[in-house]
Amino acid sequence: MAATDHHCTIEAVWRIEFARVIASLTRFTRDVGLAEDLAQEAFLAALEQWPQSGVPDNPGAWLTATGKRRAIDLFRHNAVARCKHEELARELDVLEQASPDLDAELDNAISDDLLRLVFIACHPVLPADSRVALTLRLLGGLTTEEVARAFLTPEPTIAQRIVRAKRTLADKRIPFEVPCGPELVIRLSSVLEVIYLIFNEGYSATSGADLMRPSLCEDALRLGRILAELMITESEVHGLVALMEIQASRTRARVTATGEAVLLLEQNRSQWDQLLIRRGLLAIQRAHRINAGRGTYLLQAEIAACHACAHTPADTDWHRIVALYTELAQVHPSPVIELNRAVAVSMADGPEAGLALVDSLTGEPSLARYHLLPSVRADLLCKLGRQSEARVEFERAAAITRNTRERDFFLARAASFEISTASLQER
Amino acid sequence: MRFMIIVKATAESEKKGALPDPQLMADMSKFNEELIKAGVVLAMDGLQPSCNGARVKFSGKSRTVVDGPFTETKELVAGFWIWQLKSIAEAIEWVKRCPNPHHGESEIEIRQVFEMEDFAPLLSEEEIQYKVSRRAELPNQTSNI
């Protein structure tokens, strides 16, 4: 086999194993940064040795053991850490003499470590962008360069962000554990937020020029699917997976070849990926089997599912969507959700009912610069035949939006009323 | 990127009424569990022997139905997965970890699935213009774009 083939194989093994290797090494050293360095060294050792010796039967165990041996060497040379080293050496002995029923046990232990790694990478002590970078690096297996490209950020910035994050975790002595009780709720929501941020970063990238960004959706989905197996009793994890699967099912239909966004009701539904939709619906079912209240991700997933199950826009069950938005607004009160609910109400009960709800939001300070508020209002006014008011609202939306394409669109719609008014006067 | 992982048939798997060996099934389900835990699998299924299948042959406008079984056993499909991975090397690595799906000699084929970006622009300028103009008639969608 040629050297490049070996390199490819070892890299592939690495991609499959790295997260679990880093997780095991973190438990061993209680230091994520050190664990990652050790894992890198183990990878280099594999690159050196495997071309001669062949890939070992259990490459993950080989990489972990190599990393652990390096750790012990390191501690041996570091007097300050001597106590730690002795403790670790003992642990390694115990591990190596572990009961013969170790396959299943070891597997569980690795899963536990992996989950701990997820929670430490997404620890709220870190700023959100650091959590994202660290998660992609440690769990997604992206190189620093790949993370930088995905976020259109210079590589040194990302590298520094990751270094600083690891230092913060060490300085604050963040324990390597899965939180429990009320802390779990807060920490889990941080984990889900990180995964969804990664997904949206990829999803909002409409240009196909750089494939790195859309592939973030795949990274996020994979992380979500892994987490769903690690935390099968958390309904919001399944809710998030469902939401991402269903949103990803529309990838092909939601952007034109020139990068123009296609709104949901205009999308060619035959382009929706039925496999991902089915996966999303199954994830919703898994969430339902858990007896817990519906959280924000599950509710959003169910709204997405309503659209996914409608063969044509006219088949959409808007009453159900209204009910889901109502529940969502209770779980997570937000003017933006209220606005979405108003749109759904207008579809279910007519523009008048929708407009009444939108009007109740116009005084909302957080929506003062939100261009969709006047544009939704304009649409409803237009449907009610109140054209001059609609024109003012479209102009307002155009003045607020930062997106030039959207501005042109709003201005065009505002102008269309002028023409029709003019033609009326001529008659 | 996605891959279809195709498990080829054998004379044994093609036998009428053939069911997979329980031990093979157990090994395979352990492997499947690993794949699922790694977040790799999108879909998977096993196929019944080709004697329960049929083929439709096309020649210009005519259609001829041929009932199974089919003879070229080694080229037939006995089962498949759809995996989502970063590279074909990763797919190969996973397949190497798969237990032998049959007794004796067997083969698994790895094929990459076409993705959207593999195709040239799908919409003409005209279609795009049409969509943009139609947008004006549709209600606003503030979410779920």
DSSP letters of A255-288?
B-TTS-B--GGGS-GGGS-HHHHHHHHHHHHHHH
Which residues from chain A sit within 8 angstroms of residue B80, using beta carbons? none
Quick check: A135 pLDDT over 90?
Answer: yes
**Residues with Cβ within 8 Å of residue A192, at least 6 apart in sequence:** A236, A237, A240, A297
* Contact at CB, A251 and B116, closer than 8 angstroms: yes
Question: Per-domain residue ranges for chain B?
Answer: 2-135
Can you tell me the distance from the alpha carbon of A258 to that of A32, in angstroms, rounded to the nearest whole number? 43
Q: Which of B128, B136, B138 sits opposite A256 (nearest CB)?
A: B128
pLDDT digits (tens, 9 = 90+) for A376-389: 999 999 999 999 99
Can you tell me the distance from the alpha carbon of A233 to that of A290, in angstroms, rounded to the nearest whole number? 6
The two tokens of residue B77 are 């499909």
CA distance A255 to chain B (A): 10
Question: Per-domain residue ranges for chain A?
Answer: 317-368, 369-427
DSSP state of A205: -
Q: Give the burial string for A348-383 (b: 16+ CB within 10 Å, else e).
A: beebeebbebbeebeeeeebeebbbbbbbbbbbbbb
Q: Give the burial string for A398-411 (b: 16+ CB within 10 Å, else e).
A: bebbeeeebbebbe
Which residues from chain B sit within 8 angstroms of residue A208, using beta carbons? 116-117
Question: For position B116, what pLDDT does the model report?
Answer: 66
Which residues from chain B sit within 8 angstroms of residue A376, using beta carbons? 140, 142
Which residues from chain B sit within 8 angstroms of residue A336, using beta carbons? 142
Please report which confidence band the pLDDT of residue B65 belongs to, taking 50, 70 and 90 as the band edges. Answer: very high
**Three-point CA angle A394, A400, A404, nearest 5°:** 85
Q: Average pLDDT of chain A? A: 87
Residues in chain A: 427
* Contact at CB, A260 and B128, closer than 8 angstroms: yes
- What is the average per-residue pLDDT within A35-60? 92
Of the CATH numbers 3.20.20.70, 3.40.605.10, 3.30.70.1060, 3.30.70.980, which one belongs to the domain with range B2-135? 3.30.70.1060
Whole-complex ipTM: 0.81
CB-CB neighbours of A255 under 10 Å: 21
pLDDT digits (tens, 9 = 90+) for A170-229: 999 999 999 998 999 999 999 999 999 999 888 776 444 455 567 889 999 999 999 999
A303 neighbors A325 (Cβ within 8 angstroms): yes
Please report which confidence band the pLDDT of residue B108 belongs to, taking 50, 70 and 90 as the band edges. Answer: very high
In chain A, the residue whose alpha carbon lies closest to the alpha carbon of B115 is: A252
Question: For position B143, what pLDDT does the model report?
Answer: 39
A354 neighbors A380 (Cβ within 8 angstroms): yes
Question: For position A283, what pLDDT does the model report?
Answer: 97
Can you tell me the distance from the alpha carbon of A328 to that of A332, in angstroms, rounded to the nearest whole number? 6
In chain A, the residue whose alpha carbon lies closest to the alpha carbon of B117 is: A208
